């Protein structure tokens, strides 16, 4: 199910053995077959794979001319929370942005286009990237893992399950995704691909529709580590658009690589309920790194790991409550009209008032998971709850960060 590596495809294109537009049409045909099978609710597609429903919007025609660069002629896919100008909508898999067409490209997409990459379309995701176990949303339906046994569909992970499943199914050499709390690493592990979350502040978030600003990271998925490294190098090269227009960008520190890197294995990550086979592979890899590569592998302690998930949940919900406030039906996004046929629960709302219009638009535009997180975030922000939940979460977040600092600098 693998597509050729970026390096091999670039060599074939530059040597004249492969026409870039032929590659584009070949991959678009694979995507079309998968999409058609998903639309007909078929389990298997003409690719002899489960229909993944991983690509929700395609760009049928490639650009007229190729841009020279390190990715010239290489097609890619992007998660549907990255803005792409003009050609197709950016929906975040939500009814509230069903027909939203951004007037600009996300910085990380612009950097890839400047390097000669060709965007083929958008991948499925959880609504506003709110998910981890599976990719399901009311607008586009669930993503199916391409490694699923016959007639037994399995989850692809979330919220970037569409990008992971598309790469695993051989629909593109690489795909963009976003990681807030494991949204790249989780589906990558379930679909058997490489998922890479850069350090926060390494690349620009401009044009990536936010979930939680303090955690969001543009990320990369591919079948090979070398392909991920190639895309990251494009983002980090001098003058790249991916290093602009974001106040949280950090300065890149140039350091000589260590001759003997230290690798820490957190004792707290041996969590209760971990599958025996996972624990066995974990130990085998540690021994492999220590014995075959002579690396310094040792156990370390991150004592605040047990509270990390609860801390993340509180901080993320608070940011969700703030970020989702912009989808009000007044400025952009879904706007409910009296002729739309309101649900019974909304029939008493007066759409002639801004409050009524906003309430109806948000009720009809958001799915259940988004509504749940908005309610939770606003609860944590209540005057009587802020100290108990939000302030405590912020203090514990600093403790979690200090744990890592001590280990990495010790």
Q: Is there a contact between 184 and 221 (Cβ–Cβ < 8 Å)?
A: yes
Q: Which of 38, 54, 79, 240 is catalytic?
A: 79
Position 261 scores a pLDDT of: 85
Q: Give the predicted TM-score (pTM) of the model.
A: 0.94
- Identify whether 133 is part of a domain: yes
- Identify whether 372 is part of a domain: no
Cα-based distances in Å from 335 to 59, 286, 350, 358: 27, 54, 14, 8
Beta bridge partners, 50, equal 44
Q: Please tell me whether residues 239 and 156 are part of one structural domain.
A: yes
- Identify whether 202 is part of a domain: yes
Position 342 scores a pLDDT of: 63
pLDDT tens for 369-410 read: 999 999 999 999 999 899 999 999 999 999 999 999 999 987
Q: Please tell me whether residues 174 and 288 are part of one structural domain.
A: no
Q: Please tell me whether residues 193 and 287 are part of one structural domain.
A: no
- Which 3 state secondary structure label does DSSP give 10? helix
Q: Please tell me whether residues 80 and 172 are part of one structural domain.
A: yes
Instruction: Judge whether 79 counts as a catalytic residue.
Output: yes
CA-nearest of 321, 304, 326 to 402 is 304
- SS3 labels along 48-68: CCECCCCEEEECCCCCCCCCC
Cα-based distances in Å from 217 to 103, 409, 410: 22, 23, 26
Q: Is there a contact between 82 and 91 (Cβ–Cβ < 8 Å)?
A: no
Domain CATH for 201: 3.90.1300.10
Which residue in this structure is represented by tokens 């978030």?
205
- Identify whether 191 is part of a domain: yes
Residue 238 structural domain: 6-243
pLDDT tops 80 at residue 205: yes
Q: Please tell me whether residues 45 and 179 are part of one structural domain.
A: yes
Please state, as a whole number, how many other Cβ atoms lie within 10 Å of the Cβ of residue 215. 17
| CA distance linking residue 158 with residue 129, whole number of Å | 8
Number of domains in the chain: 2
Strands (E), 80-152: 118-123
Q: Which of 107, 132, 140, 159 is catalytic?
A: 159
Cis peptide before 159 (omega within 30 of 0): yes
Residue 71 CA, chain-centre distance (Å), reads 21
Instruction: Judge whether 189 counts as a catalytic residue.
Output: no
Please state, as a whole number, how many other Cβ atoms lie within 10 Å of the Cβ of residue 170. 18
Q: Which of 45, 96, 132, 183 is catalytic?
A: 183
- Identify whether 239 is part of a domain: yes
Q: Please tell me whether residues 164 and 216 are part of one structural domain.
A: yes
Q: Is there a contact between 197 and 176 (Cβ–Cβ < 8 Å)?
A: no
Position 182 scores a pLDDT of: 95
- Identify whether 231 is part of a domain: yes
- Which 3 state secondary structure label does DSSP give 289? helix
Q: Please tell me whether residues 153 and 294 are part of one structural domain.
A: no
Position 200 scores a pLDDT of: 95
Q: Which of 214, 243, 272 lies at the terminal end of a domain, its last residue?
A: 243
- Identify whether 172 is part of a domain: yes
Q: Please tell me whether residues 122 and 266 are part of one structural domain.
A: no
CA-nearest of 265, 298, 296, 295 to 279 is 265
Q: Please tell me whether residues 41 and 74 are part of one structural domain.
A: yes
- Identify whether 87 is part of a domain: yes
pLDDT tens for 50-81 read: 999 999 999 888 888 888 999 999 999 999 99
pLDDT tens for 88-121 read: 999 999 999 988 999 999 999 999 999 999 999 9
- Which 3 state secondary structure label does DSSP give 366? coil
Q: Is there a contact between 244 and 235 (Cβ–Cβ < 8 Å)?
A: no
């Amino acid at each position: 199910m693998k597509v050729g590596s970026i390096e091999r495809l670039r060599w074939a294109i530059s040597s004249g053995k492969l026409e870039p537009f032929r590659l584009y049409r070949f991959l678009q045909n694979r995507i079309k077959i998968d999409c058609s099978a998903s639309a007909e609710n078929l389990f298997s597609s003409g690719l002899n794979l489960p229909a993944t429903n991983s690509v929700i919007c395609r760009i049928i025609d490639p650009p007229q001319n190729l841009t020279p660069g390190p990715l010239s002629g290489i097609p890619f896919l992007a998660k549907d929370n990255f803005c792409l100008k003009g050609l197709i909508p950016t929906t975040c898999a939500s009814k509230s942005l069903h027909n939203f067409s951004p007037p600009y490209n996300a910085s990380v997409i612009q950097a890839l286009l400047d390097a000669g990459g060709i965007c083929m379309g958008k991948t499925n995701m959880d609504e506003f990237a709110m998910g981890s176990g599976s990719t399901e949303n009311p607008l586009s339906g669930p993503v199916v893992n391409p490694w699923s046994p016959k007639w037994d569909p399995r989850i692809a992970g979330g919220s970037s399950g569409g990008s992971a499943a598309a790469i695993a199914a051989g629909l593109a050499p690489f795909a963009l995704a976003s990681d807030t709390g494991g949204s790249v690493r989780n589906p990558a592990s379930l679909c058997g691909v490489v998922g890479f979350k850069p350090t926060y502040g390494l690349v620009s978030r401009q044009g990536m529709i936010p979930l939680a600003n303090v955690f969001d990271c543009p990320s990369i998925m591919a079948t090979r580590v070398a392909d991920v490294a190639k895309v990251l190098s494009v983002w980090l090269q001098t003058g790249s658009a991916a290093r602009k227009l974001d106040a949280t960008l950090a300065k890149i520190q140039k350091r000589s690589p260590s001759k003997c890197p230290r690798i820490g294995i957190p004792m707290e990550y041996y969590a209760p309920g971990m599958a025996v086979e996972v624990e066995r592979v974990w130990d085998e890899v540690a021994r492999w790194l220590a014995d075959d590569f002579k690396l310094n592998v040792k156990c370390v302690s991150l004592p605040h790991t047990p509270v990390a998930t609860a801390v993340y949940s509180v901080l993320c919900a608070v940011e969700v409550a703030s970020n989702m406030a912009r989808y009000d039906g007044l400025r952009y996004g879904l706007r409910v009209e009296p002729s739309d046929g309101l649900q019974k629960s909304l029939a008493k709302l007066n759409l002639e008032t801004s409050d009524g219009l906003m309430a109806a638009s948000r009720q009809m535009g958001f799915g259940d998971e988004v509504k749940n997180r908005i309610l939770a975030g606003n609860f944590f922000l209540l005057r009587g709850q802020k100290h108990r939940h939000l302030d405590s979460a912020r203090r514990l977040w600093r403790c979690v960060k200090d744990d890592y600092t001590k280990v990495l600098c010790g």
